[in-house]
Amino acid sequence: MKLNKNRTLRESIADALRDSIMQGQLKPGVKISEPALASQFGISRTPVREAFRQLDSEGFLQVLPRRGARVAPLSEKDVREFYEIKAELESYAARLATSRLTEKEIDRMEFLNNQMETFHREKDYKKVFNLHNEFHEVFIRAGGNEQLHHLLQMLASKFQRFRILLTIAGKSEGSIAQHREIIEAFRSKNPDKAARLVAENAIFGKEVIISEILGEMQ
Binding site for a second copy (CB under 8 A): 7-8, 10-11, 46, 49-51, 53-54, 56-58, 65-66, 77-78, 81-82, 84-85, 88-89, 92, 145-148, 151
Choosing among DNA, a second copy, none, which partner's interface includes residue 197 (Cβ < 5 to 8 Å by kind)?
Answer: none
CB nearer to DNA: pick between 67 and 104: 67
Burial class (CB in 10 A: 0-12, 13-18, 19+), 108: middle
Residue 128 CA to residue 113 CA, distance in Å, equals 9
Choosing among a second copy, DNA, none, which partner's interface includes residue 5 (Cβ < 5 to 8 Å by kind)?
Answer: none
CB nearer to DNA: pick between 47 and 205: 47
HSE (CB half, 13 Å, CA atoms) of 203? 8
Per CB under 7 A, the list member of 24, 68, 174, 191 interacting with DNA is 68
CA-CA distances (angstroms) from residue 114 to 41, 62, 86? 41, 39, 23
Choosing among DNA, a second copy, none, which partner's interface includes residue 47 (Cβ < 5 to 8 Å by kind)?
Answer: DNA
Angle at 58 between CA 209 and CA 35, to 5 degrees: 110
Restricting to residues 25-54, which ones interact with DNA according to CB under 7 A?
Answer: 33-36, 38, 43-47, 49-50
Looking at 63-71, 101-109, 139-147, 188-196, which segment touches DNA (CB under 7 A)? Answer: 63-71
Q: Is the dihedral of CA 175, 176, 181, 186 positive or negative?
A: positive
What are 48's strand-pairing partners?
none
Residue 61 CA to residue 17 CA, distance in Å, equals 9
CB nearer to a second copy: pick between 87 and 131: 87
Angle at 190 between CA 153 and CA 209, to 5 degrees: 40
Per CB under 7 A, the list member of 66, 102, 103, 216 interacting with DNA is 66
Residue ranges in contact with DNA by CB under 7 A: 8-10, 33-36, 38, 43-47, 49-50, 63, 65-69
